[in-house]
C-alpha cells in the first residue's frame, strides 16, 4: 500500500491478532531539530468498511496534521495489512479491538476521527469508555439499520448470505480492479471522475489480501449493522458530524435525525454538497479544513 511521505508502519497485538497502523515519524514531519513525538497530542483516524477498505481512506487527510499531532491511522482487523482471522465478524469484534488499540497505542483521552459504520462503532465505544475520548469528528456515521430499517433484508445482503455463492461474488465482483472502480464511481463517490488509479490500486491491494473476504462479506451480509438511533442518546463525548449530501447508502436526512436525538453531545452537523460517502477521499482539502475547525471548537 502506498504510504504518504514520511509515514511509517507499526503494529500492536489485539485479541483478534495484529493490527497494523501508520504514523508520520520521518522527515519532513520529524527530525533531530524537532522535539520528540511524545510532545505532540495524539489524533486517531479510523477508516470505514467496504470491499478493499483500509487506512488509505484517510491518507490524503492525516498528513496535514502531522506537524501538530502524533497521528495514528490503523488498518482495522480484517482489513488492509492487519490480521485477517477466518471468522464471521461481529459488532463486538470491532468494539473490542478499537478499545484495545486505543488503550495500547494512544495517550487518552484523545480526539478521534472516524468514517461511516466505523464512526457508528466509535460512538458505541465512546458510550462505554468515555475516558478514552476527548471529542469525535465523524463522517457519515450510520449503523446502516437506523430507525428500524433492516439492511439484512436487502437483495444484495440476502444474495451474499448464500454459502459458496458469497465467495464467488467476492472474487469476481468485489476483489477486481473493475469491480472496485465501478463501486467507487457509481456508489461511493458523487463524481466518478474523482476516482483516479491510485485509489483503485489501494482498494484492490487491500481486497486481495489473504482471507480479506471474511470481513468484507460479514459487512455486506449485514452482520455488522445495527440501529444507531438506539445508542446515540447515550453519547456524552462532544461530537461533530460531516455528511456527504450524495451519500447513497444513508442520506443526510438520516444524519439530521440522528443528530437531533442528542444535541447536547452532537454540537455540529455539517452537510457537504457534491460529495458522497467519503469526503476524505473526494474532497480532502475541505475535509482537512473542517476537521481543523472542529478540533478547535470541540476543545
Q: Average pLDDT of 87-93?
A: 97
**pLDDT cut 70: percent of the chain above it:** 92
Q: What is the pLDDT of residues 209-237, one digit of tens each?
A: 999 999 999 998 899 999 999 999 999 99
pLDDT at 79: 98
Sequence-ordered list of residues with C-beta below 8 angstroms from that of 164, at least 6 positions apart, any chain: none
Q: What angle do CA 226, 47, 103 make, to 5 degrees?
A: 85
pLDDT at 160: 62
Q: What is the pLDDT of residues 4-57, one digit of tens each?
A: 999 999 999 999 999 999 999 888 987 654 545 567 899 999 999 988 999 999
- 159 confidence band (pLDDT: 50, 70, 90): low
3-state SS, residue 148? helix
pLDDT at 153: 67
Looking at 28-37, 108-117, 173-182, 242-251, which range is the least confident one?
28-37
- 171 confidence band (pLDDT: 50, 70, 90): confident
pLDDT at 190 over 70: yes
Report the sign of the C-alpha dihedral through residues 272, 273, 279, 285, in that order: negative
pLDDT at 156: 60
Q: Are 18 and 12 in contact (CB under 8 A)?
A: yes
pLDDT at 205 over 70: yes
pLDDT at 33: 47
3-state SS, residue 111? strand
**Bigger pLDDT: 299 or 206?**
206
pLDDT at 1: 72
| Whole-angstrom distance, CA of residue 69 vs CA of residue 20 | 19
Looking at 27-31, 117-121, 196-200, which range is the least confident one?
27-31
- Cα 104 to Cα 15, 77, 97, distances in angstroms: 12, 15, 10
| Residue (of 23, 43, 21, 65) closest to 111 by Cα position | 43
Total residues belonging to the chain: 299
Q: Which long-range contacts (CB under 8 A, 24 or more apart) does 190-196 make?
A: 190/244, 190/245, 190/246, 190/274, 190/275, 190/276, 190/282, 191/274, 191/282, 194/281, 194/282
Residue identified by cell 457537504 is: 272
Q: Where are the domains of the chain?
A: 7-298
Find residue 43's DSSP bridge partners. 71
pLDDT at 271 over 90: yes
Q: In the CATH hierarchy, which top-level class contains the domain 7-298? A: alpha beta
pLDDT at 162 over 80: no
pTM: 0.95
| Residue (of 161, 158, 197, 163) closest to 180 by Cα position | 197
- Cα 6 to Cα 20, 105, 117, 197, 206, distances in angstroms: 16, 19, 29, 22, 21
Q: Mean pLDDT over all residues of the chain?
A: 92
- 254 confidence band (pLDDT: 50, 70, 90): very high
- Cα 178 to Cα 123, 133, 175, 185, distances in angstroms: 34, 39, 9, 10
Cis peptide before 28 (omega within 30 of 0): yes
| Whole-angstrom distance, CA of residue 298 vs CA of residue 12 | 29
Q: Average pLDDT of 95-115?
A: 97
Amino acid at each position: 500500500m502506498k504510504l504518504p511521505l514520511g509515514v511509517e508502519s507499526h503494529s500492536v497485538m489485539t485479541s483478534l491478532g495484529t493490527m497494523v497502523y501508520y504514523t508520520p515519524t520521518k522527515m519532513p514531519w520529524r527530525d533531530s531539530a524537532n522535539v520528540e513525538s511524545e510532545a505532540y497530542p495524539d489524533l486517531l483516524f479510523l477508516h470505514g468498511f467496504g470491499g478493499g477498505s483500509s487506512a488509505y481512506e484517510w491518507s490524503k487527510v492525516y498528513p496535514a496534521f502531522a506537524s501538530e499531532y502524533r497521528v495514528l491511522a490503523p488498518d482495522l482487523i480484517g482489513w488492509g495489512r492487519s490480521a485477517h482471522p477466518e471468522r464471521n465478524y461481529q459488532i463486538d469484534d470491532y468494539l473490542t479491538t478499537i478499545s484495545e488499540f486505543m488503550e495500547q497505542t494512544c495517550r487518552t483521552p484523545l480526539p478521534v476521527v472516524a468514517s461511516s459504520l466505523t464512526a457508528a462503532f466509535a460512538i458505541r465505544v465512546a458510550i462505554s469508555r468515555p475516558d478514552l475520548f476527548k471529542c469525535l469528528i465523524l463522517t457519515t456515521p450510520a449503523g446502516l439499520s437506523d430507525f428500524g430499517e433492516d439492511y439484512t433484508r436487502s437483495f444484495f445482503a440476502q444474495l451474499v448470505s448464500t454459502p459458496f455463492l458469497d465467495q464467488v461474488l467476492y472474487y469476481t465482483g468485489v476483489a477486481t480492479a473493475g469491480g472496485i472502480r465501478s463501486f467507487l464511481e457509481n456508489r461511493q463517490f458523487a463524481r466518478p471522475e474523482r476516482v483516479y488509479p491510485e485509489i483503485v490500486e489501494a482498494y484492490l491491494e487491500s481486497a486481495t489480501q489473504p482471507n480479506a473476504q471474511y470481513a468484507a462479506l460479514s459487512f455486506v451480509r449485514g452482520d455488522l449493522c445495527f440501529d444507531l438511533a438506539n445508542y446515540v442518546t447515550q453519547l456524552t463525548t462532544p461530537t461533530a458530524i460531516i455528511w456527504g449530501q450524495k451519500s447513497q447508502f444513508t442520506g443526510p436526512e438520516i444524519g439530521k435525525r440522528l443528530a437531533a436525538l442528542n444535541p447536547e453531545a452532537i454540537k455540529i452537523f455539517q452537510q457537504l454538497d457534491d460529495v458522497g460517502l467519503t469526503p476524505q477521499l473526494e474532497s480532502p482539502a475541505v475535509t482537512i479544513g473542517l476537521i481543523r475547525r472542529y478540533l478547535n471548537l470541540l476543545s
